[in-house]
Amino acid sequence: MNARVLIDGPSELVFDYAIPAGMPVVEGCRVRVPIRQKTSSGTVLAIQEPPKQSEFAMREIHSLIDPEPLITPTLLKVARWIANYYGSSIESVIRSILPEAVRTEDNSAKTRRIATATENIDPAELAKLEKRAAKQYAILFLLINAPDRTLPVADLGESSAPSLKSLAAKGFIKISTEDVRRDPEATETIVPSEPLVLNNQQQEAFNQISASLGTSPTPTPPTPPSPYLLLGVTGSGKTEVYLQSAQAALDLGKTVLVLVPEIALTPQTVRRFKARFSQLDDQVAVLHSNLSQGERFDEWHRIRKGQARIVIGARSAVFAPLPNLGLIIVDEEHETSYKQENPPRYHARDVAVLRAAFEPCTIVLGSATPSLESWQNTLTEKYHLLRLDQRADAHSMPLVRVIDMRLEKQKQKGQVAILSDRLRNALEQRLAKGEQSILFLNRRGFARSLQCHGCGYVCQCPHCAVALTYHRTDERLVCHVCGHQSIVPRKCPECSNPGIALQGYGTQKVEEVLQKILPEARFARIDADAMRRKNALKDILKKFKTKKIDILIGTQMIAKGLHFPNVTLVGILNADLGLHVPDFRAGERTFQLITQVAGRAGRGELEGEVIVQTFTPHSPSIQFARKHDFDGYAEQEMEMRRQFRFPPFAHCAVLTVRSAHERRAEFTLQTLHLRLKENLPPGISLGEVLPSPLIKSHDQFRFQITLRSHQARPLTNHVQAVLKKTTLPEDVTVVFDMDAYNFS
Ligand code: ADP
Ligand code: ZN
């Protein structure tokens, strides 16, 4: 037998090696192998039959680094499933499971070298250094301004060694070695919390979940319990159910995995877990996307060794190597950020369900607005439904008013109406009473673009088929797809008309308008621009919590689990924007968005009000959201999906071809279309070749085909078989996206 080995390091090479007799190499093991004149470490991806007749003798594995495989057998099984289901290479899946930080030996140092700037450096010396040795000065400057005047040498860049040496020789710095557990959260203070007394529905949910955990750490339940869908209205206390269920799993000696859509956007959920389990001290690991390589390495090994017994993380945390897993929680299971948009294009919720079945362990999917996929699974009894129908604090759901913006537009004589009279009055009232408000802007495709009033020309990105967005702070036009920037033209580039003006509005415009109408109010804006600064989000949320801000303006970013008791008004400025995108989930997303955003209102003693501004007041997603009626919404939406054979009644995949040459992209896809049509397995429907809604992006033209099938596997297999047989032109990229969520 021989072993296929993924070589450590950024170039991600894969080679085959012979296994020396008697060496207990299994899949997932870490090994040392010869590569060219050197040796390198790597991970065994697979054990396989050697090729029948090989032309050269295969080199042998040098040695085994750890006797235990680094990837657990269950995760290896999950990896194979993903490769198979989503049609991606096992290599790419293993790369996701074992982050690069873990595969690179450099990070394994439990000690590290640090550089510390000495105290009392003479400013005159410093000025001299700045003139003579810019690089040394730059490093010293960094150190002087760092906490404790200290930074890890590794963070100072690869080429810093000579400069450091000189600086040390001159006595400006000291180099030393320190022991590390690189604790990403070391500076945070957490107030412990006690379990609450559950209400009846919470208790019922908890009873079922905890019963499914079994009674002892081992043996695990022989048959995996079916997944639970916890459908609880916003504020119904789902988190409390998660917390107590997690406690129950820990009490049995098991471990717990908690998935959230995005760590940075769900700070309160993370904090509540930490607060509840603060007595476990460092047994809670939070997998942020901004962990350094070293921190990631340490956290990963803490988890693997069972030292961290609760892991909280976003999408890729689904691969956290927890031993003896007892419970997986997927919060906000409907969130599309669980779907990875790079290969392997897996959906973390679906992978979590699968992992739970393989472990086996209990899994709870929670949401106020479950995806229709999960909802359908409760109807077919694949999932078990648990409900929380009331807010936990016995407050009523907020009153939702829908404002017809067509009428407002007439009133305001055709001007783009940003605030209806009603919303404006409501804001003024809140301000007078010292209560807080959140204004929410659906950003998708709704930023300010520059359009000529003479000829209608719109400033477009030269690389993508989208209008450029105007950013006031730096007076620039920016492409939200590729980041291209350009200056704001004084006159129309087409017809030289100086009457080129801004169309539409974005968060910056809203802020501007509000400042005029409510000059005494204190505002803050949360959007991707405002958040570029590190900790900006944390700072703003803290200020909002301590009532130093009256009105928070934001995009989708603020729709998730935030909880502010003093917020009594939520305004949704353009609720229907998401409805006009070419995506069969548009209605579902609008429903989810309104419900989630509305859920931010009235979470304390005070009653909440929600004002939804829309141009399509009668659309079902808006009307059902107004009545907080998930069941009603789901029923009518499912009818539509059934009729048109969309998910959850079929799997839907998108095959996209990209190229810098428009004709070549289209032609390649047409060729693939023909081949897909031959021997098309029964039950698969093959769509036509169409330009993607975003026909050009990053200088690449895009065409796509949508495929649907009742069963996923035959679809993936058929497409993969065709792709394997087809040689693609050089500059053409093909992307296959199974269970696609992005149709642009
Ligand atoms: P969800 O996660 O469903 O949106 P939360 O867990 O945020 O809801 O709960 C909303 C509020 O209700 C929180 O302030 C929480 O502390 C409180 N809460 C939850 N369960 C109970 C309970 N059993 N008794 C009293 N308050 C509760
Ligand atoms: Zn662009």
Percentage of the chain exceeding pLDDT 90: 44
Among protein residues, the one with the nearest Cα to ligand 1's atom 19 is: 237
Burial of 183 (0-12, 13-18, 19+ CB in 10 A): middle
**What pLDDT does residue 619 have?**
87
Check whether 330 has a pLDDT greater than 90. Answer: yes
Instruction: Categorize the per-residue pLDDT at 288 as very low, low, confident or very high, splitting at 50, 70 and 90.
Output: confident
Which of 1-10, 214-223, 613-622 shows the lowest mean pLDDT across its residues?
A: 214-223
Check whether 690 has a pLDDT greater than 50. Answer: yes
Residue recorded with tokens 């673009």? 449
From 204, 240, 389, mutation site for ligand 1 pocket: most ligand atoms within 8 A of C-beta: 240
Which of 192-206, 252-266, 560-574 shows the lowest mean pLDDT across its residues?
A: 560-574
CB 615 within 8 A of CB 580: no
* Mean local confidence (pLDDT), 474-496: 82
**What pLDDT does residue 446 have?**
43
**What pLDDT does residue 89 have?**
86
Cβ–ligand 1 distance for 563 under 6 Å, the answer yes
Instruction: Categorize the per-residue pLDDT at 567 as very low, low, confident or very high, splitting at 50, 70 and 90.
Output: confident
Check whether 108 has a pLDDT greater than 80. Answer: no
**What pLDDT does residue 580 have?**
59
Which atom of ligand 1 approaches the CA of 234 most closely? Answer: 4
Which of 38-47, 198-207, 328-337, 712-721 shows the lowest mean pLDDT across its residues?
A: 38-47
Instruction: Categorize the per-residue pLDDT at 188 as very low, low, confident or very high, splitting at 50, 70 and 90.
Output: low
Cβ–ligand 1 distance for 268 under 6 Å, the answer no
**What pLDDT does residue 448 have?**
67
Write down the mean pLDDT value for the chain.
86
Range among 6-15, 71-80, 523-532, 555-564 rated most confident: 71-80
Q: Is the dihedral of CA 30, 31, 33, 39 positive or negative?
A: positive
CA distance 54 to 51: 6
294 Cβ partners below 8 Å, 6+ apart? Answer: 101, 107, 109, 112, 152, 154, 180, 182
Which atom of ligand 1 approaches the CA of 236 most closely? Answer: 3
* Mean local confidence (pLDDT), 318-334: 95
Range among 36-45, 437-446, 630-639 rated most confident: 630-639
Check whether 740 has a pLDDT greater than 90. Answer: yes
CB 291 within 8 A of CB 299: yes
- What are the helix (H) ranges across 8-66? none
Burial of 338 (0-12, 13-18, 19+ CB in 10 A): buried
Check whether 260 has a pLDDT greater than 70. Answer: yes
3-state secondary structure 396-410: CCCEEEEEEHHHHHH
**What pLDDT does residue 444 have?**
46
Distance 543 CA to ligand 1 centre (A): 22
Q: What are phi and psi of 410, to 5 degrees?
A: -60, -45
Rg of the chain over all Cα atoms, to the nearest angstrom: 28
Check whether 414 has a pLDDT greater than 70. Answer: no
Cβ–ligand 1 distance for 40 under 6 Å, the answer no
Which of 336-340, 424-428, 476-480 shows the lowest mean pLDDT across its residues?
A: 476-480
**What pLDDT does residue 445 have?**
38
Which of 204-213, 322-331, 376-385, 440-449 shows the lowest mean pLDDT across its residues?
A: 440-449
CB 688 within 8 A of CB 705: yes
Tell me which residues have their CB within 5 A of the ion that is ligand 2. Answer: 461, 463-464, 479, 481-482, 484
pLDDT, one tens digit per residue, over 132-146 is 888 888 889 888 888
Does residue 531 sit in helix, strand or coil? coil
Check whether 383 has a pLDDT greater than 70. Answer: yes
Ligand with minimal distance to 266 CA: 1
Among protein residues, the one with the nearest Cα to ligand 1's atom 9 is: 237
Among protein residues, the one with the nearest Cα to ligand 1's atom 4 is: 235
* Mean local confidence (pLDDT), 360-388: 96
CA distance 586 to 683: 26
Structure tokens at 115: 């550089």
Check whether 5 has a pLDDT greater than 50. Answer: yes
Cα 446 to chain centroid distance, Å, stands at 22
Q: How far is residue 483 from each of residues 34, 128, 441, 463, 464, measured CA to CA in Å?
A: 42, 39, 21, 10, 10
Distance 482 CA to ligand 2 centre (A): 4
Check whether 653 has a pLDDT greater than 90. Answer: yes
Range among 49-53, 171-175, 396-400 rated most confident: 171-175
Instruction: Categorize the per-residue pLDDT at 325 as very low, low, confident or very high, splitting at 50, 70 and 90.
Output: very high
Check whether 451 has a pLDDT greater than 80. Answer: no
Check whether 471 has a pLDDT greater than 80. Answer: no
**What pLDDT does residue 548 have?**
94
